[in-house]
Amino acid sequence: METPSRSEADDLWRLTQEPGLHQRWDLRFTRIEYLPPPDGIDDRQQFRYSVSLLPGLRVAGTGVCAGERVRPDGTRTSVLRFGSGQRLSLIRSGTGYWRYVPTPAGIRFLTGYDYLPGWGRLGEPADLLFRPFMGWATAWSFDRLRIWLEDGIPPERSLRLWMLDAGLRTVAATPAVPATPAVAATLSVGAALAVAAILAIALVPARPSVPLARRCLRRPPDRLSGTCPADPPPLAPPLLTPAAHHLLAQL
């Protein structure tokens, strides 16, 4: 997944690598914090993440920054591993990377990740819905970050703008919902609003200041930028999916 940004590399690095700033724009997390350095020779930065689902209901996990790479052309790559032992978490363990590629117009920001679902036998069926949502949330968050960098709109404000825009677009699309007696008898008010929301997303354009997932590229235009980094530091990974093992083998 990729978003191009007309911004400085150092500004993008800061907003993505500092936990207090990262948690402001990334919809997938409510809180991210660095943990104290562990005892021993392992000096890799560890962190804790969490997301609040409902008041008093939170899913949490931990991760480690597995390494960073800098190429002669200024491309930087940050690799991490994450996981959760919490039974409520659908993500059991995984790995991913962020890549920062300088361009004449600014910088390309890319990510790739994979994970092993939890929940036992229910994990794979549930992941059929959860994984696309995570992809959408990642893309939406990347565009939210881009707007912060390029337009100076804080993430908290862009979220409010998105909610307002979604409401207005739903209202604008409501007349497009068929209003024949047969349809009226079949659709409840909630279903009609759901149809209107879908039509709004598909037909009514959003303002440039409103984050949109579809502005992000789901696949990088060149294979090299979308390839995982090489030469990983030695790790003791938890159980991962075959795709995640392949990802780690090429780090």
pLDDT in tens, 62-84: 998 877 788 888 899 999 999 99
DSSP 74: S
Q: Write down the pTM of the prediction.
A: 0.77
Residue 115's alpha-carbon distances to 43, 85, 146, in angstroms, are 24, 13, 26
Q: Looking at residue 73, what is its pLDDT? A: 87
Distance of CA 122 to CAs 107, 127, 201, Å? Answer: 40, 8, 31
Tell me which CATH code domain 2-153+215-249 carries: 3.30.530.20
Q: Is the separation of the CB atoms in 12 and 109 below 8 Å? A: yes
What are phi and psi for residue 40, nearest 5 degrees?
105, -165
pLDDT at site 111 = 92
Where does the chain hold its CATH 3.30.530.20 domain(s)? 2-153+215-249
pLDDT of 42 > 80? The answer is: no
Percent of the chain, pLDDT > 70? Answer: 70
Q: Is residue 142 predicted with pLDDT exceeding 90?
A: yes
